Each structure stands twice: as C-alpha cells, then as structure tokens.
Structure 1
Amino acid sequence: MMKAEDPWVPFGLGFAGLIPFWGLCLAHGTDITFGESQTASATALATYAATIVSFLGGIRWGLATKADNQRLAARDYAVAVLPQLLGWSALALNDPWRLTVLAVLIIALGITDRDLVHRGMAPAWFGRLRLILALGAGAALLLAAAS
C-alpha cells in the first residue's frame, strides 16, 4: 500500500485513472447505456484500456532513455513497444476476449514493472503504485468481461 513518504501526485492521478475503468465496468455490467448499446460501454472500456497499455509501454521507454549503457537498454526499448502492439491487436478481438486479454496485459505489466525497481531504474514507490493500479484496472476489466 501507499506509504507516508510516497509522492501523492502520482498516486492521486493513478487512482483517478481507475475511475474510467470502474465507471465503464459498472455501466457495462448494469446495462446503463446512456442511449447507446451495451457494446458501446465495452468498446469504450477496451479502448481506454488499450490507451493505458500504450502509456505503460511508454513508461519503460522513458526509463530506458536514462540508462547509462544504451546497448543494455536495447531490451527495454524492445519490451516497451510490445504493449502498444498487443493492446492494439486486442481491440480486434470480440468480447469477452478483448477485455480479458487487456486485463492480462495490464496485470502482467504491473508485475513486470516491479523489475524496473529491482534493477534500480525506478523508485520503490513506483513498483507499489504500478501493482495497485494494475490489479485495480485488471479486476475491472475481468469483471466486465464476465458480465
């Protein structure tokens, strides 16, 4: 969980980023359609998730730019582009598969981003935040996929 010394801005913005996940999940699961089909809420949720997956790849890319040894950072650059490609590809799937794949991607990235902390590329609070947000977003996506 969050510690007293953790920076509140990334945590606050990160938690705010969960609002669309849970709002769209609840809209999808309760048939609140705002005049659209239920498919529209699933599409909006999947699209938001895919943009977040792309953002998460960008974090790894940005951290790789700070590496002293750019030859060793080549792996991080390659791994950084995978989320965008996989997230975009997931949008072509039918529900519930697209929501499930995006959930797995987000959770997997939350787990693998902890490696950035262990390698000294990111502070400890980043690993905690990433895991909390990944589990929160992943749970919303999985719940929506099941409904």
Structure 2
Amino acid sequence: MNSLLGPLGRSAALRRAPLALRRPSPPLSSLTLSTRPTQKRPIPLAAVHARFVASSVSGRPGSQTIGHAKQNVKEEVGNSAADWARSIAGGIFALDSVKPSKESFYAITSAVATSVPAPYLVMGLAGGLPYVASAGTTVYLAHQAGLAAMGTVTNMDPGVALTILDQALTFQVTYGAVMLSFLGALHWGMEFAGQGGHKGYPRLLLGVTPAVVAWSTIALQPTSALICQWIGFTALWYVDNRATSAGWTPKWYSQYRFYLSILVGTCIIGSLAGTSYWGPVAGHGLLSHDLERIRSIRKESQPERAGFIGGDIEAVAGDEKSDSYVVIRKKEKKQEEGESREQ
C-alpha cells in the first residue's frame, strides 16, 4: 500500500512545494526543433464564409447614408477651414494669449483678431480708405469714359474723359506704392526695437525690398502697375506670415496684414475689372482706342456748335426785314466767280 501511495504523495508534495524546490526547466539549447513538415489542415467552408462576413464590415464606406455624407463633408470642410485659419495666423494660435475656445475658422480668426491692439487696427483700416475711394473713382470714370467713347454722353469729349481716367489710375498706383513701401518699412522699425531679437541684414533687406518694387511700378503703364502691385502685396503678406511664424513680428501681425491685403487686393481687382469691362484707358493698359475715330463718330452724332461749315453756303448779316441777325444762304454766282479769279 505504501508503495502505491508513495509516488502520489511525493508528486502532491512537490506541487505544494515552493518554486525554488521544483525541477528547473531544461535550457533552450537542449531543445530541438522538429524538422518534419507540418501538415496543412484544410479550413472549413463555414469558417471561410464567417471570415469574409466579418471583413465586409471594414470594407463599407464611411458614409452609409446621405445624412452621414453631409455630416462628413461638413466636418472635413470645417477642419480645412480651421487649418487655413491657423496658416493665416502664422501658426501662433496655440499660445495662451491667443488660444481659441473652439477649433474652427471663426474661433481662431476671432481669437487672433481680438489680440490686435485697437489703435493699430483702426488706423490701418483708415489708411486704406483713400485707396478704396480711388478704386471706386477709377471704376466710375472708366464707365463715363466708355459712354463718351460710344457717343452716349455727348457733353464730354472722349479725350477729356480718358485723360481724367488716366489721372485717377495714376493716383491709385502712386498711393499703392506708398502703402507697399510703408508695410516694408515696418520691418525696419521692428529691427530698431529688437522685436524677436536683432536679425541684421536679412530683416533690413526685407524692409527695403517692397519699397524698391513699389516705386519701380510707377514707370509702368497704370494697369500693368496695378497687376505688379497686386503681386507685391500678396508676396509681402506671405513673407510676413513666415516672419510671424519665426517670431520676428508680434503674434497678431500676420492676421493684421491679412486684413489689409484682402482690402487692397479687392480694390486692385475691382479697378482692373472696371477699366477692362466698361471703358478704354487712354492708350495705356489692356485696351487702346483711336481718339480721332471716336471724335469723328461723335461729330456725326452731334455736330460742333461753332466753327466752319463746308459747302456752297455763306453767312451774311440780316437786314432790317430779317427775323435774325445772321442769314445763311447759298453763295451768289458772281461772288463765287470773283473768289475763283482771286485764287
């Protein structure tokens, strides 16, 4: 009996013994891998069918209904708009001073806009009002010049209308050059004040380049100058955006410059569209007209009120019986013969 219970007792005692007293596992080096090829067991058809049913869920589109599609499109557009707002702000929206309450275009833009000092925003927009007025005047004068060229407005000479339009375009180009130069000069002030540290020649060159480009456009034709200035304003805003991201400017500067660039760009595009659609540009720019041909058409529609009238007629003073001071009549033959002999 003891011989039968002995091994069982020892095995039970060994299971209850601590881990340290148990037989250690053989080392990995003593283990040998079987070189016999494993047998491939066929997968049951039911398991295959279940696998395909399970994977079909992941293959479904993200939008199962029209309502889901609208919601997904709305979210994607909102995320893209928020990313665009971050780019406009120069990537500084995450700072505590301008941290938005919600991740949306309006929230990010509003958060940065509220950080712009009010005097800077008011004076910047006020400085753009003359430019807006000049753009509106250019469009109005282009319309009037177009009417004069077509003969619709008979009390204005086409040459005079085109000259006034050319002066309005010149004023807009000159004021635009002043604004572009001023925006570049701001970087000199930031360098003098040490905003973001002194950068030396790179920031000084950044400040003087817009002035060189702006005043070079004065030598161009008005419409060509406006196109070059639009490119200059857009390029300068991009550079200011990068400068804001690098810490060269105040945190709100990129957003501030974005508003001014939109204002100026809209005025330039409006002026170019108005002059191209409604009227000529006095020999400059995208359209040119022959003034002599326009004047001849105008004379046909409305003869001159003073001057010489060709033909075999003459104007003589009216006598006492006449109802008018001047009488226009056909030339007498004797007088015509005398004039021909004198010639």
Question: Which TM-score tier does this pair reach, normalised by the shorter chain?
Answer: 0.7 to 0.9
Aligned residue identity for 2:252: W
Say whether the 8 Å CA contact 1:21–1:141 is kept in structure 2: no
Question: Is 1:109 equivalent to 2:236 in the alignment?
Answer: yes
Say whether the 8 Å CA contact 2:196–2:247 is kept in structure 1: no
Question: Is 1:9 equivalent to 2:116 in the alignment?
Answer: no
SS in 1 for 2:252: helix
Aligned residue identity for 1:104: I
SS in 2 for 1:96: helix
Question: Is 1:125 equivalent to 2:252 in the alignment?
Answer: yes
Query: What residue is the counterpart of 1:25 in the other structure?
Result: 135
Q: How do 1:45-56 residues align onto structure 2 when only pairs under 5 Å count?
A: 45-56=172-183
Q: Which stretch of the first structure deviates more once superposed, 12-21 or 61-70? A: 61-70
Distance (Å, rounded) in 2 between the aligned partners of 1:67 and 1:14: 20
Distance (Å, rounded) in 2 between the aligned partners of 1:145 and 1:91: 16
Say whether the 8 Å CA contact 2:116–2:256 is kept in structure 1: no
Distance (Å, rounded) in 1 between the aligned partners of 2:216 and 2:232: 12
Aligned residue identity for 2:240: D
1:61 counterpart (177, 188, 197): 188
- Relative contact order, CA 8 A, sep 6+: which one is greater? 1
Distance (Å, rounded) in 2 between the aligned partners of 1:24 and 1:58: 23
Distance (Å, rounded) in 1 between the aligned partners of 2:237 and 2:169: 22
Q: CA deviation at 1:87?
A: 0.5
CA spacing shift, 1:68–1:22, aligned 2, 3 Å: closer
Question: Displaced runs of 4+ in structure 1, greater than 2 A?
Answer: 1-6, 67-70
Distance (Å, rounded) in 2 between the aligned partners of 1:46 and 1:63: 27
**Could you list the per-position Cα deviations for residues 23-51 of structure 1 after superposition, in whole angstroms to 9, with x for gaps in the alignment?**
11110001189x97011111111111101
Say whether the 8 Å CA contact 1:25–1:141 is kept in structure 2: yes
Say whether the 8 Å CA contact 2:195–2:249 is kept in structure 1: no
Query: What residue is the counterpart of 2:215 in the other structure?
Result: 88
1:97 counterpart (224, 243, 252): 224
Q: Which stretch of the first structure deviates more once superposed, 113-122 or 37-46? A: 113-122
Distance (Å, rounded) in 2 between the aligned partners of 1:20 and 1:134: 15
2:166 counterpart (17, 27, 39): 39
1:134 counterpart (238, 261, 267): 261
Distance (Å, rounded) in 2 between the aligned partners of 1:41 and 1:20: 12
CA spacing shift, 1:4–1:93, aligned 2, 3 Å: same
Structure 2 alignment gaps of length 5 or more: 1-108, 145-160, 276-343
Aligned residue identity for 2:262: L
RMSD: 2.2
Query: What residue is the counterpart of 2:67 in the other structure?
Result: none
Higher helix share: 1
Question: Is 1:76 equivalent to 2:203 in the alignment?
Answer: yes
How many residue pairs are counted as aligned between the two chains? 145
Query: What residue is the counterpart of 2:74 in the other structure?
Result: none
- Percentage of matched positions with identical amino acids: 22
SS in 1 for 2:222: coil
